C-alpha cells in the first residue's frame, strides 16, 4: 500500500536496518510497582486507582537520559506507552483529564520524549492501548454498548491527537484491542473501525509504520516474549521484557531477570531471521531506570560497539543455524550447538554462543570461504574447506574472546550457500 510520500517497501527500509529498539512501559502503574496489569488483577476501582496520580510526580524524569541510554545500548528506535490499558495518558489529551499533564506531574511526557529522541537521532514510536479499563464497555461490550462506543471514539480521538500534535511519529504501536471480548464480536478490526483509524493515522503521518495489533496486518508482526519469525518478506519484531513475563511496567521486587547473555542471544536470533528485537524497560515512578536494566543495556551496548555490523540490516543466511528455511532448520534439527549465522551480501557472521575452543566446524558449506576474522579482537583465523562441505575455522583462542557472544566474520566468494545432501548418509563414508 502506498501512502503519501513513499511505498510500504520504502517506509520499512529503516526498520530492517535498525533491528534493535527500546520498549518503555511507563505509567501510573509504576507508583504501586506491581506491574501494569494491577488495576485489573487486583480489581482496583477506578476512583481508588486514580488516587495514585496524586503521587505520580515523576520528579526525576529526564527524557534525554532515556534517549542517551537507548543510543548507548545500540538501539535505533524507541516505543513509549502514551497510554496503557488503565487509561492514564502520558500526554495532553483534550478528551481525557486522566493524564500526566492534569495531575501531580503537570508534564507532557510524550512531548519531552519525542523531542529527546529526535535530538538523539532515534526513530520515535508511540504505543497506544485501544482498550481503556475505565470503560465498563471494555468488559461487558453488549451490556454497556454506549460505554463501548465512547471508548472506541476515544481511541479515534486520541490517535488523532498523537498523530497531530507531536511532529513526525515513526511507529504507531497498537495494543489491547483484542482484550474486548464477546462471542458475538466476530472481528476486532471492525469493532475498532481499524481501517478508518489507520487511514487517518497514515494521512497525518505518511511515513508511519503501524503494527498488526489493530488486528489488521498493516506493516509488521509483533510476536511477544518469544522469537517467532514471519514468512520471508514480512517484517516482524519480537517484544520482550528483561524480567520474566509477569509484567512490563515497574515491579519493585522481581528476582527473575534474564542475563545479558540471554538478551543478546535473543537479539541475534531475531536478527538471524531478519526480525527486530524490542527490549523493554519499566522506569520507576520518579522517572529513573532501575540499575539492573541500565547495567544490562550498557553491557549490550559494549557488545554492539564491536559487533553491530552483524546485526544492523542483517539478512537470513542459508548456512545451518542461519535462519534460512533449509530442510534441517525447518525440521528443527539443531546444527552445531555453537551458534547462529547472520549475513550481509557475501559476508557471513557466525555468532558463537557456546565457544568450542581452538576450532569451529561448520558442515555443509557449498560456497568458497575466503577469510575469517574475530570481530572482538580483529584477529584473523585460519580456514580450510573439505570436499564434504565442512568448513573448519581454526587457530582460535582456547577461551571465548567475548564473555557473551563471539562473532566470526567470514568473507565468502559469493552469497554463502548450503551444500544440498543428495544422499544424507554419504558423510558416513561407509564401504
Ligand atoms: O496487556 C499488554 C501488556 O501489558 C504489555 O503492554 C504487552 C506488551 O506487548 N502487550 C499486552 C500483552 O500482550
Query: For ligand 1, which residues put their CB under 6 angstroms from it?
Result: 36-37, 175, 224, 239, 248
Instruction: Give the model confidence (pLDDT) of 390-415 as tens digits.
Output: 999 999 999 999 999 999 999 999 99
Pairing relationship of beta strands 347-352 and 406-412 according to DSSP bridges: antiparallel
pTM: 0.96
Dihedral pair phi/psi, residue 299, rounded to 5°: -65, -40
Instruction: Express each pLDDT in 280-321 by its tens digit.
Output: 999 999 999 999 999 999 999 999 999 999 999 999 998 876
What is the Å distance from ligand 1's center to 176 Cα? Answer: 7
- Residue 409, helix vs strand vs coil: strand
Can you give the pLDDT at residue 334? Answer: 55
Write down the pLDDT at residue 213. Answer: 98
Q: CB neighbours of 19 closer than 8 A, spacing ≥ 6?
A: 76, 267, 270, 271, 275, 276, 277, 311, 312, 313, 314
C-alpha span between 165 and 324 (Å, rounded): 42
Task: Report the alpha-carbon distance of residue 424 to residue 431 in Å, rounded.
Answer: 15
Segments of the chain scoring below 50 in pLDDT: 1-3
Distance 77 CA to ligand 1 centre (A): 19
**First CA to last CA across the chain, in angstroms?**
59
Distance 175 CA to ligand 1 centre (A): 7
Is the separation of the CB atoms in 52 and 100 below 8 Å?
A: no
Residue with cell 497514515: 202
**pLDDT score, position 337:** 58
Atom of ligand 1 nearest to the CA of 81: 6
What is the model's pLDDT at position 333? 59
Amino acid at each position: 500500500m502506498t501512502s503519501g510520500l513513499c511505498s510500504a517497501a520504502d517506509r520499512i527500509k529503516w526498520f530492517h536496518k535498525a533491528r534493535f529498539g527500546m520498549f518503555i512501559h511507563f505509567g501510573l502503574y509504576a507508583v504501586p510497582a506491581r506491574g501494569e496489569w494491577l488495576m485489573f488483577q487486583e480489581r482496583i476501582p477506578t476512583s481508588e486507582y486514580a488516587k495514585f496520580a496524586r503521587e505520580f510526580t515523576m520528579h526525576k524524569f529526564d527524557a534525554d537520559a532515556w534517549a542517551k541510554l537507548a543510543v548507548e545500548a545500540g538501539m535505533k528506535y524507541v516505543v513509549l506507552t502514551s497510554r496503557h490499558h488503565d487509561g492514564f495518558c502520558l500526554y495532553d489529551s483534550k478528551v481525557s483529564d486522566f493524564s500526566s499533564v492534569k495531575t501531580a506531574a503537570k508534564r507532557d511526557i510524550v512531548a519531552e520524549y519525542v523531542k529527546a529522541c529526535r535530538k538523539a537521532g532515534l526513530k520515535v514510536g508511540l504505543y497506544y492501548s485501544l482498550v481503556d479499563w475505565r470503560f465498563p464497555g471494555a468488559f461487558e461490550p453488549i451490556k454497556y454498548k454506549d460505554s463501548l462506543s465512547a471508548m472506541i471514539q476515544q481511541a479515534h480521538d486520541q490517535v488523532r491527537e498523537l498523530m497531530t500534535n507531536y511532529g513526525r511519529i515513526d511507529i504507531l504501536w497498537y495494543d489491547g484491542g483484542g482484550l474486548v471480548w464477546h462471542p458475538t464480536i466476530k472481528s476486532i478490526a471492525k469493532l475498532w473501525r481499524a481501517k478508518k483509524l489507520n487511514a487517518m493515522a497514515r494521512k497525518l503521518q505518511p511515513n508511519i509504520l503501524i503494527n498488526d495489533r489493530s488486528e489488521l496486518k498493516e506493516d509488521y508482526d509483533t510476536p511477544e516474549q518469544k522469537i517467532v519469525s514471519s514468512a520471508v518478506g514480512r517484517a516482524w519484531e519480537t517484544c520482550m521484557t528483561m524480567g520474566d513475563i509477569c509484567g512490563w511496567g515497574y515491579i519493585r521486587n522481581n528476582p527473575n531477570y534474564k542475563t545479558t547473555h540471554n538478551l543478546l542471544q535473543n537479539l541475534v536470533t531475531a536478527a538471524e531471521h531478519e526480525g527486530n528485537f524490542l527490549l523493554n524497560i519499566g522506569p520507576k515512578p520518579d522517572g529513573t531506570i532501575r540499575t539492573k536494566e541500565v547495567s544490562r543495556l550498557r553491557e549490550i551496548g559494549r557488545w554492539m560497539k564491536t559487533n553491530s555490523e552483524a546485526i544492523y540490516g542483517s539478512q537470513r543466511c542459508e548456512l545451518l543455524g542461519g535462519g534460512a528455511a533449509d530442510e534441517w532448520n525447518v525440521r528443527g534439527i539443531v546444527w552445531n550447538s555453537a551458534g547462529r549465522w547472520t549475513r550481509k551480501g557475501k559476508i557471513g557472521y557466525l555468532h558463537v554462543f557456546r565457544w568450542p575452543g581452538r576450532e569451529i566446524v561448520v558442515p555443509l558449506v557449498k560456497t568458497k570461504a575466503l577469510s575469517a576474522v574475530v570481530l572482538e579482537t580483529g584477529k584473523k583465523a585460519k580456514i580450510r574447506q573439505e570436499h564434504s562441505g565442512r568448513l573448519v575455522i581454526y587457530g582460535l583462542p582456547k577461551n571465548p574472546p567475548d564473555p557473551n557472544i563471539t562473532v566470526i566474520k567470514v568473507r565468502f566468494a559469493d552469497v554463502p550457500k548450503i551444500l544440498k545432501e543428495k544422499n544424507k548418509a554419504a558423510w558416513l563414508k561407509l564401504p
